[in-house]
Amino acid sequence: MAAEPSRRRSLREAWQGRMDSIRQQLADVENTPGLSLLCLLGAATGGLCGLVILALHTAIHTLQEPLFEVFGIASGTFTEASVTFRVAVPVLGALLLGLIVEWVIKSSEYGIVHIIERLVYYQGVLPVKAALAEFTMSALALATGQSVGREGVAAHTGATTGSWLGRQLDLPNNSVRTLVGCGAAAGIAASFNTPLAAVIFAMEVVMMEYTIAGFAPIILAAVTGSLVTFTFTDVHPRLMADYSGFSTVELPYLAFVGAVLGIAGAGFTRLCGALVPLLGKIRISLRIGLAGLVTGLLAIQFPQIMGLGFETVNASLAGEYAIAVALGIGLAKLLASSFATAAAIPGGVILPTFVVGSALGSALGSVGALILPGHATDSGLYALLGIGAMMGAVLQAPLSALVVILELSGQTGLVLPGMLVVIAALVVSRRISVSESLFRLLLRRRGLDYRNDPISQYLRRASVLTAMNRRFRIVERRIGRAELEEILETKIDWLLIRSREHRASLMRPSDVARFLSQEENAELEEIDLHNIPGKRVDAYAIHVRASLQEAFDMVNRNETEALVVERNVTGSRAITYGVLTREAIDGTYRP
C-alpha cells in the first residue's frame, strides 16, 4: 500500500520535471525547440478561437431571427424594417445593455483596448469572466443594430482563449503574451476571412512589435482560426470586389481621396476622444442608452448604418448609392459609431470603419467620374480603397490596411493605388490627430500609457529563466562548519539564506571562505552567516513565469540588487530555480 503513494509522487515529479523542461524551452522563444512548441500552442489557440466565432455567429442569429419574425420583416435586414422598428430596437436594446452592464457586469472593459491594457499592465492575463460578459453583451448589441462591429469581441475572446491556455499550462509570461496575440489574430481572421491582414494587425496594433518568434505562431493561429469558419460561408459574408484596373491619370485624385478619408479618420478619432470624458460624467446605463438613441435617430434616414454592415459595404462596392446617399451613410455611420465607441458599447470599431470608408469612398469615386470623365474608374474601386484608407487612418496601421485591400479584392494590381490612398490618409490623420491611433487615445483616456521602446519590447519577450543564475545553494542562517566547507567546495556563485517570507539574503561564497580561513575563527563549529563580515544582498521573490520586464520593474521598485526566481507549490513550500541580479538583467540588452 505504501508503494502506491510513492509511485504517484514519482509520476507527479516526473511530470513536473517534464513541464519545467518545456517552460525552459519556451522561456527563450528565439530558439528552435521553444518556437516549435509555441507554434503548436498558437495553432491550438486559433482552432479554439474559431469555435468561439461560430458560437458568436449562432448567438447573434438566435437573438435576431425571432425579433424580425415578430415584426414581420421577411428579409431579415434592418433596411427593410419600418421607421418605428429602426428607432425602437436600438434604443431599447441599448437601454437593456446599459442596465445589464451597470447592475450585473459592473465593468466596461472590452475589446482590443482591453487586450492591449492587459498586455501592458497584467502580462497578458485576461479574465475569462470579462470575455464571457463581452461575448453575451456583443451578441445582444449586434442583434439590436448597435453601430459596432463583431471583431472586438472576436479578438477579446480569442486573446482570452490564448491567455487561458497559457495559464493552464503555467507557461512563462512572455509565451502567454504571444498566445494572446495569437488569439487576437485568430479572432480577426475568423471574423473577416483575412488571415494575413489579421496577422499584421496583431503585430502592428496589439503587440506593437514585429519579431520572427511572434510571426510564426500568430500566422498558424490565424490560419487555423480561418479554417474552422471557412466552410461556413455565412459567418463572414464575402465582400464583392472585382476591378479591372485604374488609370494613371487618377493618381492625383486618388491622393486627394486619401487625404479626405484621412480627415474623416482623424475626425472619428478626435470625436471619440472628446466624447469619452463627456459621456463619462453620466451613469453607464444612460450613456449606452444615449448611444442607442443616436443610432436610432440617424437610422430613420439611413438604416444602412445598423447592424454589422456587410450589405452596406457590398452595395458601396457595387456602386449602388448616389453621391448624396453614400455621403450621408458614411457621415451617419461615423457619428453613430463615435457615440457607440465612447459609450463603451461592447463590440469593435474595425467593421464600422469598413462601412464609413466604403460609403465615403463610393461618394468620392462618383465625384471623380464627373471630374475625370472617361478616365476615372467606377466608384466601387474607390469604395474598396476607402476601406483601407479609413482603417489605416483610425488604427494608424497602414500595413494592415493595405493587406486588407489586397485580401478583399484578390488583385495585386491594386497595390499602387492602395499604397497611395492609405499613406495619404495616414499622413493627414497623423497631422490632425497628433499621431495617435484610436486605441492609444482610449488607453490614455483611462489614464494609461504604453511603453514601447526597444528595451521594453525586448524585456517583455524574455523570461527570467533566460537570465537567471542556477549556480546557488540554499543554506540556513546557522550552519555547521563542516557542512559549510563542503558546500564551498562546489562551484557555486551564491549562497541563498532564507530570512522571511518572500525575502532572502544572498552572499558570495568567497566572502564566507575568507572568514573561515582566518586563524581566529578556526575553532568555530557553528557559523551565523548574518554575523560574519561580507556583503549581503536582500533579494525579493519573483515568480518563475515572470518576464524580464517584470523583474526590471521589481528591482527598481524595491531598490534591490537581486531577485530569487521561484514557484510556490503547496502551502508555504516553494521551488527555487535561480538567482537573478540587476546586473544580469542589464546584461541582456546592453552590449
Shared-domain flag, residues 366 and 496: no
Last residue of a domain, one of 396, 415, 445: 445
Shared-domain flag, residues 319 and 183: no
3-state secondary structure of 189: helix
Shared-domain flag, residues 116 and 136: yes
What is the model's pLDDT at position 332? 97
- In the predicted model, residues of the chain with pLDDT beneath 50 are 1
Last residue of a domain, one of 413, 445, 477: 445
What is the model's pLDDT at position 520? 79
Total count of domains within the chain: 3
What is the model's pLDDT at position 325? 96
Shared-domain flag, residues 265 and 170: no
The CATH number covering residue 321 comes to 1.10.3080.10
What is the rounded radius of gyration, in angstroms, for the C-alpha atoms of the chain? Answer: 29
What is the model's pLDDT at position 15? 58
Shared-domain flag, residues 258 and 376: yes
Q: Write the CA distances from 351 to 309, 326, 333, 478, integer angstroms.
A: 7, 17, 11, 66
Indicate whether 28 belongs to any domain: yes
Shared-domain flag, residues 177 and 121: yes
Shared-domain flag, residues 84 and 143: yes
Shared-domain flag, residues 184 and 282: no
Q: In terms of Cα–Cα distance, which of 265, 338, 311 is closest to 81? A: 311
What is the model's pLDDT at position 569? 60
pTM of this structure: 0.83
Shared-domain flag, residues 290 and 347: yes
What is the model's pLDDT at position 106? 72
Domain span at residue 532?
Answer: 463-589
Q: Residue 342 contacts by C-beta under 8 Å, 6 or more apart in sequence?
A: 271, 272, 275, 276, 278, 279, 287, 291
The CATH number covering residue 537 comes to 3.10.580.10
Indicate whether 313 belongs to any domain: yes
User: How many whole angstroms separate alpha carbon 591 and alpha carbon 586?
Assistant: 9
What is the model's pLDDT at position 481? 87
What is the model's pLDDT at position 471? 93
Shared-domain flag, residues 441 and 499: no
Cell numbers describing residue 530: 548574518
